[in-house]
Structure 1
Amino acid sequence: MVIFLTSLACFSQKNESAVLLKKAGEVLYDNPAESIKICSHLLTSDSAEAKSRAAFLLAEAYLITGDYTRSLSFTELSISKSRESKDDKLLFESLMLSAEIHAHLTLLELAKKYRAEAEMIDPGNPRLKSYDVLVLNSTAGSENTAEAFITKGTKLQHQANLFALSKPKLAASYFEKNLAGQKCRGAYWEILAQLDYGDFLLESKNYQKTIALLNEAGSKEKQFANPFFEKRINHDLADAWLALGDKDKFMEFRAKAASADDRYDTQVENAVNLAFENLQNQKAEIISGSRKKARNTNCTLAIAGFSLLLLSLGARWFFKVRTRNLQDIINYLKLIKNVQRKAETAKPSAKNLSIPKETEDALLAKLEKFESGKRFLSKEISLAQVASAFETNTKYLSEVINKYKKKN
């Protein structure tokens, strides 16, 4: 029952994360602030997949609002999380997004690095070709590069730009069609289409229509607070009002454009600093990893050498102790042998009794006299009877017989 409830809770949480991710994606290009709020909540999820997807959407949301520093940070997080979860599709998208952000910052070498990593994952993905077209159609190191990677223009937009000078009426129809199509994708894409169309109208000297179109774009832009949008809109409005001879309006929008330009430059500068900081950290991690590997190798060798030294010393100690123990045993055995020898020498013999000389001589004389007779041949005679006749004890008598007669 507990396992069932746990599984049900996990399924419910996963389903909730999927719903929230879908919602965040749907509102991304109309209300990025809401998308950021949802995805920030999902970063606390237990699901690794939800975290990586949320990080990617946050990177896109901050890019849309012109916060390139945070966009870069969450792009790196998305790359890291997608590698952990082995989600190659998301990893490809994250690497390409990073390449586009770096290209927007005119850090083309870093952009090339991320693009190459993405190509290793999915060499045939059409997004690679689209990226290459944007690079070829932009001037490295100029603002055109930045604009190209922000607008990511559609086919209709490219056709409109192509005919802008040679066939203005045809170009205008393409701009109108492109604008209508971008409205379906969201306010962000609609603003981008309005900016390009506004540039065309301004160059065509249709100032009133330029002002009307860009004022509409400006009202939509407020929910994005993107300094890149602001500077583009206000710069073109200032030029349009100047062309109409309204200097007050010109000064008003020129000041707004300058303020937005300063904020945009600050965002770009901070993002560039972060990009180089990330690069330094990556290099430091590589160096640290190499050093750690070398330290681990050296540590392993040191441990092995120390173990061999201990083994050698242990073996030497063992044989030394064993030799000393054997010598101790030999010495002990010698000592025991000497003690036994001394004990045997010092111990009085059970057969050799200490008989006074006078007693011994008297017993010997009596024994010889006894042997001269025939009495000792009697089978009835005993040692005790003879000892009694000799006025001595059986031990003395037996000792004298053994000593002098070699008989018992």
Structure 2
Amino acid sequence: MKLILAFFLVFGTIIKAQNSRDAETLFLESKDLLYKKPSESAIISEFLFKNSSDNNDKIKALLLLTESYLIRGDYNSASEKLFQCLELSKESNRTENEFQINFLLARLCDELGIEFSQLYLIKNEKEITQNYYEKAIKSYSDSNWNQTVKDLKLFEKQKNKSFPELSNFYYALSYSNLGKLDSAQYYAQKIQRYEPYYFYAKAKIQSSRKESDKNIDYIESLKLINKKVQDVWLREEIYNLAVKNYNKSKNKDKYREYYQLQTALQDSLSSVKENARISFLNKIGQKQDEILETKSEQQTKMSYFIAIAILLVFTVAYFFNRKLNQKQNDYEKSKQEAEDREKFIAENKAQESAGKIVIPDKTISFLLEKLEKFESNDEYLDSEISLNLLAENLNTNTKYLSEIINTYKNKNFHSYINELRINYIINKLKNNPVYLKYKVSHLAEEAGFSSHSLFSTVFKQVTGHSPASFIKTIKNQ
């Protein structure tokens, strides 16, 4: 009997180990496909998530899913999976998981134009390890090639590394932009199995050569991979490179073709990002409301505990005092009970109010007055304005400013700024006929918007009409 039980125990252990190995094999396959075929990587990751019983394995699968959705520009799905990661990570203490979650959160915020400080209840910026891979991507997008190379080298020294092949991709692009073509070629060879990125890096390097203006066959080679490219950022870069070089070679037909593709992609991404940003901000608000509610419940429980402890202390003191002062028993008893009640009420109220964000009335009045001045001076037209910058200009902090805008303006910071800008343009259109002749792109720039497509999206959200329709209506009046 014992031999039979031992056999089944060993057999069960072998089956479990086999399943674990199979799951790890699928995980590695999904990770390998992430930058080759993101959609296929997502299918495998979704399977691993649904069939895993271990939280850490679920988090690993969700992180790959999040990355896959970010690559393909599906920001709503990316934020959904990332919030699932945050929930599961509460029960996990894996440093590598936290590192990747923080990286993807910061990347999603950057893509959607959201200040990371707005997640202050979800993630504390001071507790987050500096991610040099994230900094390298940011430096590259800012055209700071030398800084990109420095950040990538610092990233290589970090213990928690992810997707090193794309590090080589950014090395290749940065060295190409710096004119160090031998170094660029060296790093490009390391990413040959990632075809879309490899072919783009080769085209980028070729376009940097002196004779590139005489021969642009390298642009034509990108046609082979264009339909395979699922990374929306890479597709936009390919269109940008083609537009730049066909314009340089004065090939009007090709220039027009790629310019239309580039514009269509940018408009589509702008609309998708704006909708995703609103959805993500709503999720942040709900999540932070849940956190505040949990903290409030904890504070209430603590208040009860302290109140009971205070009552116990005073009760013991009361009885001890009664034994020592029998002659003044009645007097001391009534006096002590009165003091107990007052102190209990005071302490209980103090504890109940602990943890809440309270802004002094003077501060509220001061900031509301400053906001009125901010609005009257049209300072919201500055395209660089942000929650942090405005808070600094008003000599306050982002928490106070965000709370006051939410409470007294009944909207979040971005909606507040956008509506001020749109109302500014509406006023100009109604009162200054010259503005009716301006292009939408000019109106967008004057209002402080980063693109005319974003301006059009917000304009329609505020007025219910597109800018062109609105202008036509005014002209017909």
What interval of TM-score do these two structures reach, taking the shorter chain for normalisation?
0.5 to 0.7
Distance 1:214 1:75, change over 3 A: farther
The structure number with the bigger radius of gyration is: 1
Match of 1:267 among 265, 272, 281: 272
Counterpart of 2:106? 99
Equivalent pairs counted in the alignment come to 283
User: Partner of 2:45 in structure 1?
Assistant: 39
Give the 3 Å change call, closer, same or farther, for CA 190–102 of structure 1 in structure 2: farther
Whole-angstrom CA distance in 2 between matches of 1:227 and 1:54: 22
Moved more, 102-111 or 51-60: 102-111
CA positional deviation for 1:60:
1.8
Q: How does 1:120-135 map to 2 (within 5 A)?
A: 120=127, 123=129, 128-132=131-135, 134-135=137-138
Q: Which residue of 1 aligns with 2:436?
A: none
Distance 1:159 1:65 in 2: 26
Tell me the residue number matched to 2:252: 247
Q: Distance in 2 between matches of 1:58 and 1:40?
A: 7
- State the SS of the aligned residue for 1:258: helix
Question: Do the aligned residues in 2 keep the contact of 1:179 with 1:190 (CA within 8 Å)?
Answer: yes
Distance 1:111 1:193, change over 3 A: farther
Q: Distance in 2 between matches of 1:113 and 1:266?
A: 27
Moved more, 258-267 or 30-39: 258-267
Quick one: distance in 2 between partners of 1:114 and 1:221?
A: 42
- Out of 40, 60, 80, the residue aligned to residue 67 of structure 2 is 60
| Contact map agreement 2:140 2:174 (CA 8 A) in 1 | no
Cα distance between partner residues in 2 of 1:75 and 1:188: 26
In 2, the alpha carbon distance for the partners of 1:289 and 1:254 equals 52
Q: Secondary structure at the match of 2:185?
A: helix
Q: Alignment partner of 2:31: what SS?
A: helix
The structural deviation recorded for 1:28 is 1.8
Match of 1:348 in 2: none
Does residue 1:24 correspond to 2:40, yes or no? Answer: no
1:47-86 alignment to 2 at 5 Å?
47-86=54-93
**Does 276-285 or 79-88 show the bigger shift?**
79-88
1:158 matched to 2:161? The reply is no
Report the equivalent of 1:219: 224
Amino acid at match of 1:59: T
Q: For residues 122-175 of structure 1, what are the alpha-carbon distances to aligned partners after superposition, in whole Å with 9 as ceiling and x for unaligned?
A: x5xxx62444455466559xxxx9xx9997664454333234xxxxxxx33333
- TM-superposed CA distance for 1:94, in Å, is 2.0
CA contact (8 A) 1:99 1:110 kept: no
Give the partner amino acid of 1:176: Q
Instruction: Calculate percent identity across the aligned residue pairs.
Output: 17
Structure 1 CA distance, aligned partners of 2:109 and 2:22?
34
Structure 2 CA distance for aligned equivalents of residues 112 and 280 of structure 1: 9
Deviation at 1:8, TM superposition (A): 4.2
Q: Using a 3 Å threshold, how does the CA distance of structure 1 residues 216 and 47 change in structure 2: closer, same or farther? A: farther
1:181 to 177, 187, 190: 190
> Which secondary structure state, in structure 1, belongs to the residue aligned with residue 208 of structure 2?
helix
Which sections of structure 2, spanning at least 5 residues, go unmatched? 153-162, 310-477
| Unaligned runs of at least 5 residues, structure 1 | 164-170, 305-408
Per the alignment, in what secondary structure is the counterpart of residue 107 of structure 1? coil
Deviates more, 1:90-99 or 1:244-253: 244-253
Matched, 1:190 2:198: yes
What SS does structure 2 have at the residue aligned with 1:39?
Answer: helix
Superposed CA deviations along residues 36-75 of structure 1, whole A, max 9, x for unmatched, are 1111101112222221111111122222223233233323
TM-score relative to the length of structure 1: 0.57
Distance in 1 of aligned mates of 2:141 and 2:212: 27
1:273-329 Cα deviation digits (max 9, x unpaired): 23312321232112221343356568889999xxxxxxxxxxxxxxxxxxxxxxxxx
Compared with structure 1, are the counterparts of its residues 52 and 228 closer, same or farther at alpha carbon in structure 2 (3 Å cutoff)?
same
